[in-house]
């Protein structure tokens, strides 16, 4: 999507450079594309219009940059403005001088309030606080039990009784004070913003508990309705902020901008999965990239951070750059990559990869990776450190030892050499001269620019280079065209 | 190719991590904003316009529908933009909206704007919406409920159980959500409320075997129908979708026969619903959609795009949390509510 948007913007804005500024007509066309992208990301219509108007105002006065194409400049402006709106002043949670600090959660049915209450409690616990949960959702069957189970799992007590939500909240708060808890989180039933009776009820809960913070919990897949919900809850409860849930879905999450844009309160936390610990502060720049369809790179970064030890990575990077990268390093890396998920899935997250690479990655299954591992394991330590010594007879031995063919061993060694060369070139700053890298580098450069150079330069060249090398050495013995089913690499269970 | 792929991944990951490591500790640099961005982008929430409000806007003095009907011929820009707004705000989506607008601007004088848009939407909703309640002889019909987290799967099962009980059928509920805390307790309350039987296991148990047991029980005791709940799951995880496919296979194993697989969609969901439908269709062979939460302010227009692209019919709609808040989907009434007519 981001590729598509930036490509479309490139087309519109080519040949403008001489004029020094974007003409109104070009700006109209470019912003028309941006508008469409925002709408496709579920940003609400009037929020989209207001946002576009603000971007227009900003771009109108701006001189065209020397280093960026006009299309890139538009994207950059859009991205920056998104970060600005999504970020704004951050909300820093401070604790009430007279504890407990009370937090009220509200939102529609199914937004994720109950799970969020537990995650939030856990978060406070990690901050060294002593949270207490109040289950005031007496509406949905077994909602109280759900919170009790979650509370037990994180070691946080849960208060509830079967009277009525307002009394439960009141009594729970009293109990928390009595036993000296310093943070109280109140879970409430999901309610529709047009359900006057239930909106009055939550208002009453708010009145009797006087929360220090009231958060609207909103689902990241929400469509145009986000503004109605957000506005109605804000008008009723005076929100202090927003918590966005289900950011592990592949939705672009425009609802966050809609909600933010209509209540003007910060988005504070983000829930990113079903596990209690899948909960984090909200990062505006990640969200901005996501709305523009660039979020995948960030997911990749997160997964990398979760699964790979940065120290090990640093050590390996220096060996890569100096050309000392060995087959042992390669094995370590292979295993780390496997831990992160399927190759196809990972490849999909990277900008600027050719379709060919993606398809090929999709077709890689566990068996192929196992085979590579078997081949490497059949080598001696010396061979793995220094593959040049692997001559004909050694190849035959390795092939026999790993139950594969000499062709397969040859192929692996050739590709490894190729890869090593590329890595070294990257380290030396040289770009391998390979055909077809223009488009690739464009996409990555744009992602880089918008993200503050998060994506390594030269990656696209590397990918293209390896592909080119690959074409020179076509794989022996039929492509694996197996559909990605069954025995492919499966990522570690996330739940 | 495999090595090349791994190579690229390795390099990217290593470089990303190294760069991030070298950046940590550095104070974030905040670029001074140029034109200050307003905190509040919109202060008032406009109500969704309706074709009726369009006629008021255009100064209608006659009855709304008369006026709309007379609004014909190639429409002007204002009309187009109101129609666009109506469709987009109902979550119909950019692609379908543009298509309808295009056909509208090409339209001829003999049709009113209202009729044109209505027909264009209804064209996509022309399918068989019958619901299967019977299986082959010596089999137990199973309805499987799938969808992402919190859309209303369990509640819908409660409502449909009641509906089937009203129709004189005996029902077993299978608590196939063994993942979410207290999910089985939730379903058990619905079983009690509707006089249905329930088969459940402890948290963390294998969902397939719960469904299998429910079918066994229904078969042995000659129950008419099994309604199987499943855990909410995101649609972009092949693991979770594979797990679901497995549950479906087990449910479809004799004497069970999956006669309906309902994808439950939340009407407040935007464009992601299309992805959800695609993925669940591929992994669970969805035969029908239940669109929930239509009692709120969201309109659920994305189902039009889903029906058009994937051909999955919407069969029921949820209009509240009560046991009777379930209706059979009617395309015309649905389209009229999208258009506010
Ligand atoms: N207003 C309204 N609320 C609904 C409707 N259907 C379900 N709900 C509510 O939505 C919330 C979630 O419903 P569930 O049935 O628990 O959803 P689920 O898909 O089973 O959720 P998980 O099992 O957690 O994935 C509950 O509070 C329901 O009462 C509906 O048609 N209208
Ligand atoms: Mg459920």
**A194, B93: Cβ pair inside 8 Å?**
no
User: Is the distance from CB of B79 to CB of B54 less than 8 angstroms?
Assistant: yes
Q: Under 8 Å CB-to-CB from B1, ≥6 apart: which residues? A: A360, A364, A470, A475
A:B CB pairs within 8 Å = 310
Rounded-to-5 percentages of helix, strand, coil across chain A: 60, 10, 35
What does the pLDDT average to over B210-232? 97
Q: Does B297 touch chain A (CB under 8 A)?
A: yes
**Per-residue pLDDT at A306:** 66
| Of B196 and A489, the one with more pLDDT | B196
Name the DSSP letter for residue B265: E
State the distance between the two ends of chain A, measured CA to CA, in whole angstroms.
29
**Is A492 part of a structural domain of the chain?**
no
User: Is the distance from CB of B311 to CB of B111 less than 8 angstroms?
Assistant: no
Q: Say which CATH number the domain at B64 has.
A: 3.40.50.300
Asked if A260 and A125 sit in the same domain, the reply is yes
Is ligand 1 within 6 A of the CB of residue B319?
yes
Most confident of A239-253, B68-82, B204-218, B233-247: B204-218
**Is A494 part of a structural domain of the chain?**
no
Residue to mutate among B27, B37, B278, with most A CBs inside 10 A, is: B37
Is ligand 1 within 6 A of the CB of residue B153?
yes
At which of A63, A87, A111 does a domain end? A87
Asked if A435 and A411 sit in the same domain, the reply is yes
Mean pLDDT lowest for which of B77-91, B126-140, B223-237?
B77-91
Q: How confident is the model at residue A442 (pLDDT cuts 50, 70, 90)?
A: very low
Name the DSSP letter for residue B291: E
| Of B63 and A343, the one with more pLDDT | A343
Mark A124-136 as b/e (b = at least 16 C-beta within 10 Å): beeeebbbbbbbb
Q: Say which CATH number the domain at A193 has.
A: 3.40.50.300
Q: Give the tens place of pLDDT for each residue, A453-466.
A: 334 444 444 555 54
Asked if A255 and A123 sit in the same domain, the reply is yes
| Of A315 and A409, the one with more pLDDT | A409
Residue A420 CA to residue A319 CA, distance in Å, equals 10
**Per-residue pLDDT at A294:** 66
- State the smallest CA–CA distance between residue B110 and chain A in angstroms: 31
Q: How confident is the model at residue A495 (pLDDT cuts 50, 70, 90)?
A: very low
Window B:317-336, CB contacts with A under 8 Å? 321
Is ligand 1 within 6 A of the CB of residue B194?
no
What does the pLDDT average to over A429-446? 38
Residue A395 CA to residue A390 CA, distance in Å, equals 6
Asked if A313 and A384 sit in the same domain, the reply is yes
- Which residue among B2, B13, B293 sits closest to A364, beta carbon to beta carbon? B2
- Which residue among B7, B42, B85 sits closest to A262, beta carbon to beta carbon? B42
Q: Give the tens place of pLDDT for each residue, A58-75.
A: 888 777 776 667 777 788
Asked if A140 and A273 sit in the same domain, the reply is yes
Asked if A134 and A182 sit in the same domain, the reply is yes
What is the secondary structure of A311-359 as a DSSP string? Answer: HHHHHHHHHHHTT---HHHHHHHHHHHHHH--HHHHHHHSTT--HHHHH
**Is A312 part of a structural domain of the chain?**
yes
**Per-residue pLDDT at B48:** 62
**A346, B38: Cβ pair inside 8 Å?**
no
Residue A480 CA to residue A363 CA, distance in Å, equals 6
Q: Under 8 Å CB-to-CB from B17, ≥6 apart: which residues? A: A304, A305, A308, A310, A313, A314
Residue A36 CA to residue A474 CA, distance in Å, equals 42
Asked if A378 and A419 sit in the same domain, the reply is yes
Residue A324 CA to residue A318 CA, distance in Å, equals 8
**Per-residue pLDDT at A418:** 84
Asked if A289 and A309 sit in the same domain, the reply is no
| Of A299 and B268, the one with more pLDDT | B268
The CB density around residue B129, as the number of other CB atoms within 10 Å, is 15
Residue B182 CA to residue A152 CA, distance in Å, equals 12
What does the pLDDT average to over B218-245? 94
**Is A93 part of a structural domain of the chain?**
no
Burial of A452 (0-12, 13-18, 19+ CB in 10 A): exposed
| Of A300 and A221, the one with more pLDDT | A221
- Which residue among B2, B8, B91 sits closest to A372, beta carbon to beta carbon? B2
Torsion angle of C-alpha atoms A151, A152, A154, A159, degrees rounded to 10: 30
Q: How confident is the model at residue B47 (pLDDT cuts 50, 70, 90)?
A: low
Its sign, for the CA torsion A199, B156, A221, B314, is negative
Q: Which of B43, B60, B42 is nearest to B51 (CA)?
A: B60
Please determine, for residue A4, whether its predicted confidence score (pLDDT) is greater than 50.
yes
Element (H, E) at B154: helix B153-166
Asked if A55 and A106 sit in the same domain, the reply is no
User: Is the distance from CB of A308 to CB of A262 less than 8 angstroms?
Assistant: no
Q: Does B88 touch chain A (CB under 8 A)?
A: yes
Q: Give the tens place of pLDDT for each residue, A80-105.
A: 889 889 987 677 888 988 899 999 99
Q: How confident is the model at residue B53 (pLDDT cuts 50, 70, 90)?
A: low
Q: How confident is the model at residue A2 (pLDDT cuts 50, 70, 90)?
A: very low
Most confident of A29-38, A155-164, B27-36, B67-76: A155-164
Mark A149-185 as b/e (b = at least 16 C-beta within 10 Å): bbbeebebbbbbeeeebbebbbbbbeebbeeebbbbb
**Is B5 part of a structural domain of the chain?**
no
In chain A, the number of structural domains is: 3
- State the smallest CA–CA distance between residue A191 and chain B in angstroms: 9
**Per-residue pLDDT at B6:** 76
Asked if A277 and A250 sit in the same domain, the reply is yes
Q: Under 8 Å CB-to-CB from B122, ≥6 apart: which residues? A: B331, B332, B335
In chain B, the number of structural domains is: 1
Residue A175 CA to residue A102 CA, distance in Å, equals 13
Q: How confident is the model at residue A8 (pLDDT cuts 50, 70, 90)?
A: low
Element (H, E) at A289: helix A284-291
| Of A12 and B263, the one with more pLDDT | B263
| Full residue range of the structural domain in which residue B68 is found | 48-341
Asked if A474 and A395 sit in the same domain, the reply is yes
Q: pTM higher than 0.80, yes or no?
A: no
Q: By three-state DSSP, how is residue B321 classified? A: coil
Ligand 2 centroid to Cα of residue A129, in Å, is 31
Q: Where are the alpha helices (DSSP H) in B61-112?
A: 64-70, 77-89, 94-105
**Per-residue pLDDT at B169:** 97
Residue A93 CA to residue A120 CA, distance in Å, equals 12
**Per-residue pLDDT at A482:** 32
User: Is the distance from CB of A78 to CB of A6 less than 8 angstroms?
Assistant: no
At which of A277, A294, A311 does a domain end? A294
Residue A343 CA to residue A362 CA, distance in Å, equals 7
| Full residue range of the structural domain in which residue A210 is found | 101-294
Q: Give the tens place of pLDDT for each residue, A127-169.
A: 999 999 999 999 999 999 999 999 999 999 999 999 999 999 9
**Is B34 part of a structural domain of the chain?**
no
Is ligand 1 within 6 A of the CB of residue B283?
no
Q: How confident is the model at residue A436 (pLDDT cuts 50, 70, 90)?
A: very low
Taking each continuous run of H as one helix and of E as one strand, the counts in chain B are 13, 8
The percentage of residues in chain A with a pLDDT greater than 70, rounded to a whole number, is 76
Asked if A219 and A271 sit in the same domain, the reply is yes
Q: Which residues pair with A216 in a beta bridge?
A: A106, A242
Q: How confident is the model at residue B108 (pLDDT cuts 50, 70, 90)?
A: low
User: Is the distance from CB of A200 to CB of A183 less than 8 angstroms?
Assistant: no
Q: Where are the alpha helices (DSSP H) in A105-218?
A: 113-126, 143-154, 165-178, 196-209
Please determine, for residue A435, whether its predicted confidence score (pLDDT) is greater than 50.
no
Half-sphere exposure of A431 (CA within 13 A, CB side): 14
**Mean pLDDT of chain A, nearest integer:** 80
User: Is the distance from CB of B295 to CB of B325 less than 8 angstroms?
Assistant: yes
User: Is the distance from CB of B267 to CB of B296 less than 8 angstroms?
Assistant: yes
Please determine, for residue A469, whether its predicted confidence score (pLDDT) is greater than 70.
no
Element (H, E) at B318: strand B314-318
**Per-residue pLDDT at A460:** 47
Q: Does A244 touch chain B (CB under 8 A)?
A: no
User: Is the distance from CB of A189 to CB of A138 less than 8 angstroms?
Assistant: yes
Burial of A220 (0-12, 13-18, 19+ CB in 10 A): buried
At which of A87, A120, A144 does a domain end? A87
What does the pLDDT average to over B53-60? 48
**Per-residue pLDDT at B70:** 53
Q: Which of A15, A47, A18, A45 is nearest to A29 (CA)?
A: A15
Q: How confident is the model at residue A329 (pLDDT cuts 50, 70, 90)?
A: confident
Q: Say which CATH number the domain at A441 has.
A: 1.10.260.30
Q: Say which CATH number the domain at A43 has.
A: 1.20.120.140
**Mean pLDDT of chain B, nearest integer:** 86
Residue B65 CA to residue B56 CA, distance in Å, equals 11
| Crossing angle (nearest 10°) for helices B272-284 and B238-251 | 50
Residue to mutate among A47, A142, A323, with most B CBs inside 10 A, is: A142
């Amino acid at each position: 999507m981001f590729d598509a948007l930036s490509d479309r913007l490139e087309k519109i804005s080519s040949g403008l450079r001489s004029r020094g500024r974007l003409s109104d007509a070009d700006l109209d066309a470019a912003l028309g594309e941006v508008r469409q992208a925002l709408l496709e990301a579920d940003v609400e219509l009037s929020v989209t219009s207001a946002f576009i108007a603000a971007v227009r105002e900003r771009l109108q006065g701006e001189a065209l940059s020397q280093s960026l194409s006009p299309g890139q400049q538009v994207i950059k402006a859009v991205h920056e403005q998104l970060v600005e709106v999504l970020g704004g002043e951050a909300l820093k949670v401070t604790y009430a001088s007279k504890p407990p600090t009370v937090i009220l959660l509200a939102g529609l049915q199914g937004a994720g309030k109950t799970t969020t209450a537990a995650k939030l409690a856990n978060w406070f616990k990690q901050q060294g606080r002593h949270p207490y949960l109040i289950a005031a959702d007496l509406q949905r069957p077994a909602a109280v039990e759900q919170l009790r189970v979650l509370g037990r799992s994180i070691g946080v007590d849960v208060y509830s009784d079967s009277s009525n939500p307002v009394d439960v909240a009141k009594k729970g708060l009293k109990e928390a004070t009595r036993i000296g808890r310093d943070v109280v989180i109140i879970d409430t039933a999901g309610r529709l913003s047009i359900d006057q009776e239930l909106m009055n009820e939550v208002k009453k809960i708010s009145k009797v508990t006087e929360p220090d913070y009231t958060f609207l919990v909103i689902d990241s897949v929400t469509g145009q309705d986000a503004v109605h919900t957000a506005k109605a809850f804000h008008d009723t409860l005076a929100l202090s902020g927003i918590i966005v849930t289900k950011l592990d879905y592949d939705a672009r999450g425009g609802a966050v901008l809609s909600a933010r844009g209509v209540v003007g309160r910060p988005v504070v936390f983000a829930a990113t999965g079903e596990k209690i610990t899948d909960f984090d502060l909200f990062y505006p720049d990640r969200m901005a990239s996501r709305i523009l369809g660039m979020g995948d790179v960030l997911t990749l970064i997160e997964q990398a951070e979760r699964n790979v030890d940065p120290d090990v990575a640093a050590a390996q990077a220096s060996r890569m750059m100096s050309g000392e990268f060995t087959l042992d390093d390669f094995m370590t890396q292979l295993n780390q990559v496997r831990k992160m998920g399927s190759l196809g899935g990972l490849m999909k997250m990277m900008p600027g990869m050719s379709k060919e690479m993606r398809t090929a990655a999709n077709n890689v299954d566990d068996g192929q990776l196992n085979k590579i591992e078997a081949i490497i394991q059949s080598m001696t330590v010396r061979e793995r450190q220094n593959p040049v010594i692997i001559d004909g007879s050694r190849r035959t031995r390795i092939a026999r030892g790993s139950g594969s063919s000499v062709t397969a061993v040859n192929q692996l060694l050739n590709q490894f050499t190729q890869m090593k060369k590329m890595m070294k070139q990257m380290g030396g700053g040289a770009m391998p001269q390979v055909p077809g890298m223009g488009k690739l580098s464009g996409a990555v450069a744009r992602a880089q620019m918008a993200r503050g150079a998060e994506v390594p330069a030269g990656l696209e060249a590397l990918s293209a280079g390896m592909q080119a090398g690959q074409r020179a050495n076509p794989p022996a013995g039929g492509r694996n065209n197996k559909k990605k089913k069954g025995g492919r690499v499966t990522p570690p269970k996330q739940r | 190719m495999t090595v090349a792929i791994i190579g690229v991944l390795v390099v990217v990951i290593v470089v990303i991590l190294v760069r991030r490591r070298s950046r940590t500790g550095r104070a974030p640099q905040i670029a001074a904003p140029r034109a200050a961005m307003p905190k509040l982008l919109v202060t008032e929430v406009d109500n969704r316009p309706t074709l009726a409000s369009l006629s008021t806007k255009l100064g209608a003095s006659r009855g709304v529908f008369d006026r709309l009907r007379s609004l014909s011929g190639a429409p002007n820009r204002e009309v187009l933009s109101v129609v666009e707004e109506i469709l987009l705000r109902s979550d119909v989506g950019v692609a379908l909206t543009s298509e309808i607008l295009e056909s509208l601007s090409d339209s001829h004088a003999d049709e009113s704007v209202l009729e044109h848009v209505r027909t264009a939407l209804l064209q996509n909703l022309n399918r068989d919406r019958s619901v299967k309640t019977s299986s082959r002889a010596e089999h137990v019909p199973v309805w499987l409920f799938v969808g992402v987290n919190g859309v209303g799967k369990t509640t819908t099962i409660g409502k449909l159980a009641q509906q089937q009980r009203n129709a004189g059928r005996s029902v077993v509920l299978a608590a196939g959500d063994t993942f979410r805390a207290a999910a089985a307790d939730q379903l058990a309350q619905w079983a009690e409320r509707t006089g249905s039987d329930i088969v459940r296991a402890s948290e963390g148990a294998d969902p397939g075997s719960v469904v299998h047991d429910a079918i066994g029980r229904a078969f042995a005791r000659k129950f008419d129908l099994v309604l199987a709940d499943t855990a909410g799951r995101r649609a972009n995880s092949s693991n979770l979708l594979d797990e679901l496919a497995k549950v479906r296979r087990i449910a479809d194993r004799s004497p069970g026969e999956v006669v309906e697989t309902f994808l439950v969609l939340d009407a407040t969901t935007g464009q992601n619903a299309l992805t959800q439908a695609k993925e669940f269709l591929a992994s669970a062979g969805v035969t029908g959609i239940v669109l929930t939460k239509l009692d709120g302010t969201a309109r659920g227009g994305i189902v039009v795009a889903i029906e058009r692209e994937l051909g999955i019919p919407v069969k029921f709609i949820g209009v509240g949390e009560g046991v009777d808040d379930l209706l059979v989907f009617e395309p015309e009434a649905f389209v009229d509510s999208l258009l506010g007519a």
